[in-house]
Each structure stands twice: as structure tokens, then as C-alpha cells.
Structure 1
Amino acid sequence: MNRLGTVIGFTFKNKVRTKSFVITTLLLALLITIGIHLPFIIQLFIGDDEGGANKIGIVADGSTEIAQQIEDYIAEVPDNNIEFVRMEDGGDTAALNEQAQAQDLAGYLLIVSAPPGPEGTQETFPQVQYVSDSGSIPADVQIVLQPALESAKTRFITEGALTDEQIAQLTTPVQLNAVSYDKTSDTGGGAADGSDDPFSPMDFITVYVLMTLFFFSAMLTGNMIASEVTSEKSSRVMEILITSVSPLTQMFGKVIGVFLIGLMQIGVLGVTIAINLMLPYNRDVMAGFDLDFSQLPVDVLIYGLIFYVLGYFLYALLFAAVGSIVSRTEDLGQAVMPLSMLSLAAFYIGIFSLNNADSLLMKISSFVPFTSPTTMIARIGLGEIAFWEIAVSLILLLLSIFFFGWLSAKIYRTGVLMYGKRPSLKELRKAMKAYKI
């Protein structure tokens, strides 16, 4: 046990002190910082147009009532930055364009009334145009203007026959919830009676972060373990190490040591993200997403961390075994390619099935040990799953870790003494017979 701790400490200290690890960690922290601050940096170069960029003119050609309804509707929208400016309607488009440019407006709404009907009343809703220098409507402006125009059109058609509450219900989009057969049979009404839990963005974010974390951990730390073993073999350091520490202790020591290195790297990047998001201008941006961290799914987080740790050790042991049979670092990339493709497949199956977490592919993949660390996280967080499915998946994953750990230990004990030949199953079997393993 003391020797295992020595190997873990040696692996951790030796890798943390390397320039490549320090530079990689600092570079990732820098890229994350730049990514978080990118909107703010772009805004600095563009210039602060707050107050001007959201000023929109409004021209009511005989439709002042509709223009007022649009203004009133948008004024009640929370966190709204649009400010309307009444413009003089001289009937000349060139004059209106000059007014908009002189007042530094982002654009203006031109409400053109339709010709009156036979009885002298306006029978059709006016035509509305958004005139700007670019000839397009910004996405944030359109999101606010569209429901305002729909509300004004509803009022125009009903001519006061509906109350404000009824008009609000008409213009509010209908939310379509997905419910399984089991839910409808249990409740008798499904989502119609509000018994089904609504979709929580925190569930999606938690699942996405855990899946991405597992993929990058399996790839980065797995390759780190393999390269560490291969470099020791190529420099003949392995011949000295196996005289004092057994190959099995070396393998598990390196796996655990690199796992601690990965946790430290994740911690550094997590602290970097937290510090950057706590800055005042980033806090305002986060507030706009309306995320409630009190709704963080604890069960998804706990199960996700369990599958993350177990999945890491499954892949790490295999990477260590593959690294032990490679004598030159030039051959390492080709040797670990199957494991890299396997972890990539696990990530892609999970990430591209987030919108359909209960598909047949996801159900089958959640019982395959190499893909269950990602697909099970998605099914627990975003799908319908029974407890026995989680238990069976965990048991299969644990059995796979014990089996591949035993197999990797045998391969490792043989592989660290193989030199000069390209890794192959035939050569590996020969070596295992020669060493009586």
C-alpha cells in the first residue's frame, strides 16, 4: 500500500511540474476567459451604443391607436431595452430616413393604413415595415416586436370584444409537453392536468456538462497515461522501476495519480469560469438567462459523478494496458486509436440523442459498459428510467472494470517488458506464454 501511494505521489508531482501540463492548463484557462469575455470585447470594439442601438422610431400613417398599442405592449415586457421615438410623418420616405439618421435610430416602424372600405372604415390591418440602414431586423428586436404586432392585430380584429386577459391568452404561444404512455395511464390526463414536471434547463445543462467532462477526461487523461508508460519504456526507465515496484502497483498508481491530476485541472478551470462569471458585466448577462441554481438536480449530479468516475477507470485501465505494449511514442497514436474512437462514439451517441433520451439506441447503449457513462447520464436527467435499469447498468460497469482491470494487469505485466516489436495480439500472446502469465 505504501508503494502504491509512492507511485501515485510520484506520478502526480512529476506530471504537474512539467512545462507541457502547466502551459496546457494556462492555455485552456486563457481560452475559457477569452470565450466568456468575447461579447464584452466585441462590444468594446463596436462601441457602446446603449440607448442609441435600441432606439426605434415609429411612424403612424393614420394608425396612431395601433402605434400606441404596440408601445404599451412593449413597455410592459420585462428587461426590455427598446425605446420608441415618435417621428413626424411627412409622407416622404427620404425625409423619414434623414430623421432616423439624424436621431441616431437603429431603424423605424412604418405603419401604413390600408384604404378605407365602402363604409369609410378601415377593414384590414395596416401594413407594417421595419426600415433600417441594413434592411434587416435584429433578432432581439424581432423577438419583442412580433408578439406586440400580433396583440395589436388581435385587438384590431376583435374590435374590443375581448378583454385584455383574453387577448393575452390568444397571443401567448401554446406549450407542447411530451408525456410517455405510462404517465398518461397513471394520471389519466398526462400533462393536461399539470401533473408532469416541466422541462428544466438545469437538467439539460447538468447532463451536457457531465457528458462533456467525461469525454474530455477520458481522452486527455487516457492519452496522458498511455504516453507516460510509453515514454518510460522508450527511455528504459521501466527496467529500473519494475525492480522496485510491481507492474500491477505501477499501473494502478499511474491511473489514480493521473485521475487526481485531471481533477486538479478541472478544479482550476472551474475556478476560472466562476471568477469570470462573477464579474459585474458577466453577472448581468447570466441574469438574462434566468437560471435558478436552486433547481440543480442533485440525483442527476450524484449518479452522473458515479458513472463519470467508473467510466474513467474503465477507459484509463485500457489506455494503460495499450501504452504498455508500445515501445515507441511514434506508434502510440495508432495503438490508442480504437479506444479514442470508442470514447468518441460514446460521446456522440449521448450528445446527439439528448432530445430523444428514451430511444432504442439509448436504451441499448446504457447497458454497454463503454457507452453507459454518457448514455445513462442522459437517460437519468432527460428521460424516463426505472431504478433497476440504473442498478443493472452500474453492476455491468463494475464487472467490466474488474474484468478489464484483471486483463489490463496481465497485459501491463507483459507489455512493459516487450521491446523492439510492433504491438500485436500474436506478439502479446507469445510474450505472455514466455513470461508464464
Structure 2
Amino acid sequence: MREFMIIFKQAFVTKAKTKSFIITTAVMMVAIFLFANMGKIIDSVQDMTGGDDESEAVLLVRDDSGVLIEKLKMQFEANESGTTVESSDQSEQQLTEQVKEGEIDSFLTLALDDTKTIHAKYTTMSAMEFTLPMMLQDALQSIQTEMQAEQLSLSTEQVQTLFAPISFEQQSVSPSSKTKEELSQARGLVYVLMFLIYFAVIIYSSMIATEVATEKSSRVMEILISSVSPVKHMFAKVLGIGSLGLVQMVLLGGAGYIALKSTSSSESADGFFSVFGFSNLHVGTIVYAILFFLLGYFLYATLAALLGSLVSRTEDVQQMIMPMSLLIVAAFVIAVSGLSNPEMAYLQYASFFPFFTPLVMFLRVGMLDLPAWEPVLSIVIMLVTIFVLGWFGARVYRGGVLMYGPSRSLKDIKKAIQLGKE
């Protein structure tokens, strides 16, 4: 046990002290705080650069009808859009030249035909401008409706009845389905946690394989194996780097929570938590997230340690673990495909395949009210798979860590098992 703890601490502390780990964690935490306060940062930059100058929030309008511009002004003032509408007597050609030369950002031309239909043309240099054109379209549509109502002698109440929405309710009789609101919140939460599980598993599993290959290439492995069994060495590496990964996830999660709670706009923070489902966290969902994260990590980490023991150079690690990486990617693709409809049959079958379970079963547990036996059965299958893979991996690892030379094929597993017996 003493040797196990020594290797465990070495794997944890050594990686935790590396510049890459410290810098990566610090950069990600800073990025989280910047993202949470992006609105405040943009406002500060605009204040310093004069981005909020009134001259930039003026829309010139050429109104050939002579009656629309006043109505448009009233619409923009009522909506408090921050854009001032001003009339222009210049020709359309002159205004177009000013837009091309950068003197003004855009302008609007208005006209009415014989049927009292509004014809509007918005001219701007940028083809990617969407906000102001949409505001103009909505405002002009309201003006058009108002003018047509006056022409038909309709009162305001009568106009409102024409656009009154219908009452539409969706009901599902499936025993595993949730309400539409619960499903929307669960979808955001599951999506975020799936990303965390996916990236954590693929990053830390690759880290273990690289660590084992590095020790082999530097001949440190020969010294370690002479004082501790390969099995203890493998599982100490897996647990050490796995613990480091949990610490990093907790740090990033805590930073994200603090950043959103301390942001200047509490409404934005509450909206974020509400949209992604974090405002109504269910304890069961968090428990399953942690459980499937740990099981998925140990499953792939054991496989990564096995594969890493077969190579002697760190350059060969990525090629050797490529099949494992493809399994994780396949699991993620299948899980993402079920976000819109988690009740599809192939998701149920895939959730019991141990290499897909961490993501697919978590998707189903998070978005559906499943009977307890389904997640329990998937957990049992994963535990059995981890045990079998650990037993088999230990046999391969025992001989693989002593193998040197070119080793880029999974056929070397048989050679490693034979060497381990000797």
C-alpha cells in the first residue's frame, strides 16, 4: 500500500506542478470570468472609444410618403431602442454615396403605393447587419397594420382579436417522458455535463497513456517495476491523474458559478442558470453525472494505460489510442443525436454498451424518467467491464512496460501477455 500511495502522490503532484497544467487551468478560469462579464467589458470599451456616441445611433430616413416617418419615430421612442430617427431631404443616390464613403452607416427609404402598402428599402454597407433591419421591419409592420385597421374602420380591440394567439398544449402519455419545460431545462444541463464528461475522459485518458509512454522512453519504468508491481503502478497512475482531473473540474465549476453570480447583471446570470437548467438542479442528476464521469474515466483510463504500455515513444501514443478515441467520439455523437428525441430505440440499446454508457445513459437519465433498473443495470455492466478490463489490462501492462522498440499495432497485446507470464 505504501508503494501505491507513493506512485499515486507522484502522479498527482507532478502533473499538478507542471506549467502546462497551471497555465491551462488559469487561462480557462480567466476565460470563464471574461465570458461571464462580456457585456460589461463591451460597454466599457464602447465608453472609452466613444462607441455610444449619439451620432452613431442616428438613422436617416427619406420618406417619399410624408406621413410614415412620424409614425416610425413614435414606434422607436416607445420601444426605447436607442436609435434616433431623423428625416433627410437628400436623394437616394446622395445617401448611397455617403454610405459607401463611410460618412453614415445606413439609411432607409419609405414610400406608399395606391393600396396604402408600405415599401421600405434599408441600405447599408454591411451584409451581416441584422438587429436594426429586424427592428425596422417589426415597426413598419405595426404601422402597416394600424393603417389598414384605420382604413377598415377597425378599433384597437378588434385588431388585437385578429392577432390573438391560439391555446395549444402538447401532452405525452409516455411513462418516461417529462413536460416540455422540464425537457428544455434538462436538455441544456445534460448538454453541458456531457461536454464536461467527454472532454475530461478524452483528455485525462490520453494524459495517462502519454505518462506511461514517457516513463518507458526515459527508462524510468525499469527502476519503478523493480520495486513495485506493474498492477499497483497502473492503478496508482489511473487514480492519481483521475483525482487531478476531478480537482480541475471542481476549480473550473466553482469559477463558473462565482463568475455568473458575481456578474454585474444578476438578471443575465439568473437567465443563464434558468436556460441551461442550473436553477432547478435535481440531486439525482448531479449524482448520476458524477457517477458516470467516474465510471467512464476509470473505464477509458484503464484502457489508455493498457495501450500506453505497448509503445516506447511518446510520438506513437496518439496512433495507438486512436481506436479508443474513436469510441469516445462515437459515444458523443450518438448522445448528441438523442438530444432532440431521447426516446429513440437505438439510444436504449447503445446506453447498455459499456463504452457508450457514460454519455448515452446519462443523456437518457437526465432527460427521461427511467425505471430504476435501467441505470442500475448499466452501472453494473460498467463495473463488470472495468473489472474485466482491469484484470486483462494488468496482464498486458505487466509485460507491456518491459517492451521496447517499434510498437504500433494492437497485435503486440499478445506479445505483452506472454512477456508478463515470464
Map 1:280-429 to 2 at 5 A.
283=265, 286=268, 291-292=273-274, 293-382=278-367, 385-420=370-405, 422=407, 424=409, 427-429=412-414
Query: Any conservation in 2 of the 1:342–1:370 contact (CA below 8 Å)?
Result: yes
Residue 209 (1) aligns with residue 192 (2): yes
SS at match of 1:356: coil
Residues 154 and 361 of structure 1, relative CA distance in 2, 3 Å threshold: farther
**1:44-123 counterparts in 2 under 5 A?**
44=45, 47-50=49-52, 51-58=54-61, 60-62=63-65, 64=67, 67=69, 70-75=72-77, 77=79, 81-87=81-87, 90=89, 92-93=91-92, 106-115=105-114, 123=115
Separation (CA, whole Å) in 1 of partners of 2:197 and 2:7: 24
Match of residue 145 from structure 1: 136
CA–CA separation in structure 2 for the residues paired with 1:381 and 1:168: 41
Counterparts in 2 of 1:139 and 1:266: CA distance versus 1, 3 Å: same
Match of 1:120 in 2: none
Q: Is the 8 A contact 1:210 1:308 kept in 2?
A: no
Query: Matches of 2:162 and 2:250 in 1, distance apart?
Result: 47
Q: Cα 1:137–1:219, aligned 2, differ >3 Å: closer, same or farther?
A: closer
How many Å apart are 1:180 and its aligned residue?
A: 4.3
Q: For residue 410 of structure 1, report the CA deviation from its aligned partner.
A: 2.1
Structure 2 match to 1:182:
174
- Distance in 1, Cα, partners of 2:58 & 2:347: 49
TM-score normalised by L of structure 2: 0.79
The one-letter amino acid of 1:332's match is V
The one of 246, 257, 260 equivalent to 2:240 is: 257
The answer on whether the counterparts of 2:193 and 2:289 sit within 8 Å (CA) in structure 1 is yes
CA apart distance, 1:63: 6.0
Cα distance in 1 for residues equivalent to 2:144 and 2:372 = 51
Between the two proteins, the alignment pairs up a number of residues equal to 414
Partners of 2:135 and 2:167 lie apart in 1 by: 18
Q: Give the direction of change, closer, same or farther, for the CA distance of 1:71–1:252 in structure 2 (3 Å limit).
A: farther
Secondary structure of the corresponding residue to residue 182 of structure 1? coil
CA distance in 2 between counterparts of 1:358 and 1:44 reads 47
Distance (whole Å) between structure 2 residues aligned to residue 383 and residue 352 of structure 1: 15
Q: AA paired with 1:18?
A: T
* Cα deviation digits, residues 267-310 of structure 1 (max 9, x gap): 444455566657767x4894696653523455433322221221
Task: Indicate how the Cα distance of structure 1 residues 311 and 162 shifts in structure 2: closer, same or farther if over 3 A, else same.
Answer: farther
Q: Confirm or deny: 8 A CA contact 1:151 1:171 kept in the other structure.
A: no
Whole-Å Cα distance in 1 between the matches of residues 410 and 338 of structure 2? 35
For residue 239 of structure 1, the aligned residue among 191, 207, 222 is 222
SS at match of 2:120: strand
Of residues 272-281 and 293-302 in structure 1, the stretch that sits farther from structure 2 once superposed is 272-281
Structure 1 residue identity aligned to 2:141: E
Deviation at 1:231, TM superposition (A): 1.7
- Runs (5+) with no aligned partner, structure 1: 116-122, 187-194
| 1:61 to partner: Cα distance | 4.1
**Structure 1 residues 425 and 201, CA gap change in structure 2 (3 angstroms):** closer
Q: Is the 8 A contact 2:62 2:109 kept in 1?
A: yes
Bigger CA drift: 402-411 or 292-301? 292-301
The structural deviation recorded for 1:219 is 1.9
1:67 shift after superposition:
4.8
Query: What's the CA shift for 1:43?
Result: 8.5
Specify whether residues 275 and 431 from structure 1 end up closer, same or farther in structure 2 by C-alpha distance, changes over 3 A only.
Answer: closer
| Cα pair 2:186 2:366 within 8 Å, conserved | yes
In 2 relative to 1, CA 179–258 (structure 1 residues): closer, same or farther, beyond 3 Å? farther
One-letter amino acid matched to 2:92:
T
Is this contact kept in 2: 1:12–1:260, CA < 8 A?
Answer: yes
State whether residues 399 and 421 of structure 2, in contact with CA within 8 Å, keep that contact through their aligned partners in structure 1.
Answer: no
Alpha-carbon displacement from aligned partner over 1:148-198 (angstroms, at most 9, x marks no partner): 3333333333335253596388287x89887545389x9xxxxxxxx9332
SS across alignment from 2:81: coil
Cα deviations across residues 236-263 of structure 1 (Å, max 9, x unaligned)?
2222222332222211111111012222
Instruction: Give the match's secondary structure for 1:9.
Output: helix
| C-alpha RMSD of the superposition | 4.2
Query: Would the alpha carbon gap of residues 167 and 421 (structure 1) be closer, same or farther in structure 2, given more than 3 Å must change?
Result: same
Cα gap change, 1:269 to 1:162, in 2 (>3 Å): same
User: Which sections of structure 2, spanning at least 5 residues, go unmatched?
Assistant: none
Aligned amino acid, residue 110 of structure 1: T
Verify: 1:161 aligned to 2:143, yes or no: no
* Residues in 2 aligned to 1:105 and 1:290: alpha-carbon distance in whole angstroms: 36
Which letter maps to 2:58?
A: K
Q: Secondary structure at the match of 1:253?
A: helix
Question: Residues 328 and 140 (structure 1 numbering): CA distance in 2 closer, same or farther, change over 3 Å?
Answer: same
Q: Is the 8 A contact 2:109 2:121 kept in 1?
A: yes
More displaced, 211-220 or 237-246?
237-246
Q: Which residue of 1 aligns with 2:211?
A: 228
CA distance in 2: counterparts of 1:182 and 1:436, whole angstroms? 54
**CA, structure 1 residues 223+98, in 2 after alignment: closer, same or farther (shift >3 Å)?**
closer
Q: Within 1, Cα distance between the matches of 2:162 and 2:295?
A: 49
Aligned to 1:432: 417
Provide the C-alpha distance between the structure 2 equivalents of 1:273 and 1:165, rounded to a whole number of angstroms.
Answer: 49
Structure 1 SS opposite 2:385: helix
Deviates more, 1:144-153 or 1:255-264: 144-153
Q: Which amino acid aligns with 1:112?
A: A
Q: Secondary structure at the match of 2:311?
A: coil
CA distance in 2, matches of 1:52, 1:97: 18
CA contact under 8 A between 2:110 and 2:120: conserved in structure 1?
Answer: yes
5 Å-filtered alignment, 1:25-40, equals 25-26=25-26, 28=28, 40=41
Q: TM (normalized to structure 1)?
A: 0.77
